[in-house]
């Protein structure tokens, strides 16, 4: 990879300034998957308030706010409630980043359409650099940043998260929000460890299969096939972090907190056919939804 880009270019250059070829044929497949992904779920949820996420939600559903299922406005309220739970998930991730100031730089690895980046900048006033293999997602995220007049602080680029152009030790914090299942964890955490300052914080929220179950269940296999991903075990996360100078400080099991989101989504017009696999795997214990916060030592 070309490391000759200047620090100024790294901060201010548009997404098109650093466009490496996918490192593997698989990553090329993933780039094409998200460039051509046409399910309306993420756009319909994001249209509620202009924050476009590519992850799921946590928290209890506010049934009082939903009202009568027979009401013609019920579906609109249900979509708004699902989106509220998505943003609540991002808030929990941001809560675990530690003390962040306006002068800090954060890295969102697998930034999607940029909803988490916008929320991070709105909370901390900091610079947020996002990377995604999808040119379509990066273009969308950058357009939203311009519309919000924060494009000087929030930027997405087309980039392999396993080899970013960011300066070593530059980031105060970094994260993967449901994006680590597309890469080798040792390679991923080696790159986060390189980018983070000593004492910097890494956070991931992810689904992982439960080693106590024995092997990935049929439900986990269905999720892998649906998203063309490779879900890792909880044990793999811990080992790969330990091998790359990332010391877990907090592990939060969010499995029970995410079930209401999935059960509500299964009753909505946003159904994609994968809801049953998530619900059943969370209930039988073969799949877990975790937050892991680790410090770079």
In a domain, 194, yes or no: yes
User: Where are the extended beta strands (E) located within the chain?
Assistant: 105-109, 127-132, 154-158, 171-177, 196-209, 246-253, 287-296
Q: Give the chain's end-to-end CA distance (angstroms, integer).
A: 26
Is residue 177 domain-resident? Answer: yes
Nearest to 131 by CA among 153, 159, 166, 163: 159
Closest CA to 202 of 88, 93, 89, 87: 93
CB 173 within 8 A of CB 126: no
**128-163 core/surface letters (b: 16 or more CB in 10 A; e: else):** bbbbbbbbebbbbbbebbeebebeebbbbbbbbbbe
Which pLDDT does position 259 carry in this prediction? Answer: 98
Number of domains in the chain: 1
Distance CA 263, CA 228 (A): 23
Question: Which two structure tokens, joined as six digits, stand for 117?
Answer: 């980046």
pLDDT the model gives residue 22:
65
Rg (CA), the chain: 18
Judge whether 2 lies within some domain: no
Which residue segment(s) compose the domain that 104 sits in? 7-296
Question: Which pLDDT score, from 0 to 100, does residue 181 have?
Answer: 97
CB-based contact 151:28 (threshold 8 Å): no
Positive or negative torsion for Cα 219, 252, 292, 136: positive
Residue 211 domain flag: yes
3-state secondary structure 97-125: CCCCCCCCEEEEECCCCCHHHHHHHHHHC
In tens digits, the chain (297 residues) has pLDDT values of 333 333 333 343 444 444 466 678 888 889 988 998 877 899 999 999 999 999 999 999 999 999 999 999 999 999 999 999 999 999 999 999 999 999 999 999 999 999 999 999 999 999 999 999 999 999 999 999 999 999 999 999 999 999 999 999 999 999 999 999 999 999 999 999 999 999 999 999 999 999 999 999 999 999 999 999 999 999 999 999 999 999 999 999 999 999 999 999 999 999 999 999 999 999 999 999 999 999 999
Residue 1 belongs to some domain of the structure: no
**Token output for 201:** 């914080």
Identify whether 81 is part of a domain. Answer: yes
Distance CA 120, CA 36 (A): 27
- Is position 91 within any domain? yes
CATH number of the domain residue 20 falls in: 3.40.50.150
Q: Are 9 and 157 in contact (CB under 8 A)?
A: no
HEC assignment per residue over 59-102: CCCCHHHHCCCCCCCHHHHHHHHHHHHHHHHHHHHHHCCCCCCC
Residue where the block lists tokens 């013609």:
72
Question: Could you give the CA distance from residue 157 to residue 134 in angstroms, rounded to a whole number?
Answer: 9
- Written as one string, the DSSP assignment of 18-35 is --PPPSSHHHHHHHHHHH
């Amino acid at each position: 990879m070309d490391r000759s880009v200047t620090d100024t270019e790294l901060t201010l250059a548009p997404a098109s300034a650093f466009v490496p070829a996918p490192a593997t044929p698989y990553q090329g497949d993933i780039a094409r998957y998200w460039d051509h992904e046409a399910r309306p779920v993420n756009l319909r949820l994001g249209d509620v308030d202009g924050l476009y996420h590519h992850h799921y939600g946590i928290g209890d559903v506010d049934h009082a706010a939903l009202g009568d299922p027979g009401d013609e406005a019920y579906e609109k309220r249900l979509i708004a409630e699902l989106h509220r739970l998505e943003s609540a998930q991002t808030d929990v991730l941001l809560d675990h980043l530690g003390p962040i100031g306006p002068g800090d730089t954060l890295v969102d690895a697998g930034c999607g359409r940029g909803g988490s980046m916008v929320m991070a900048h709105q909370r901390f006033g900091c610079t947020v650099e996002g990377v995604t293999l999808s040119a379509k997602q990066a273009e969308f995220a950058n357009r939203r940043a311009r519309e919000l007049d924060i494009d000087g602080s929030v930027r997405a680029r087309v980039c392999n998260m396993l080899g970013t152009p960011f300066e070593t030790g530059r980031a105060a914090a970094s994260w993967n929000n449901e994006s680590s299942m597309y890469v080798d964890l040792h390679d991923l955490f080696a790159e986060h460890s390189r980018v983070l300052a000593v004492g910097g914080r890494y956070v991931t929220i992810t689904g992982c299969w439960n080693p106590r179950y024995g092997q990935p269940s049929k439900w986990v296999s269905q999720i892998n096939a649906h998203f063309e991903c490779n879900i890792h075990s909880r044990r793999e996360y811990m080992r790969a972090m330990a091998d790359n100078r990332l010391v877990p400080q907090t592990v939060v099991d969010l499995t029970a907190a995410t079930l209401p989101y999935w059960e509500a989504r299964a009753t909505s017009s946003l159904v994609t056919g994968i809801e049953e696999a998530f619900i059943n795997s969370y209930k039988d214990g073969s799949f877990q939804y975790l937050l892991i916060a680790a410090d770079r030592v």
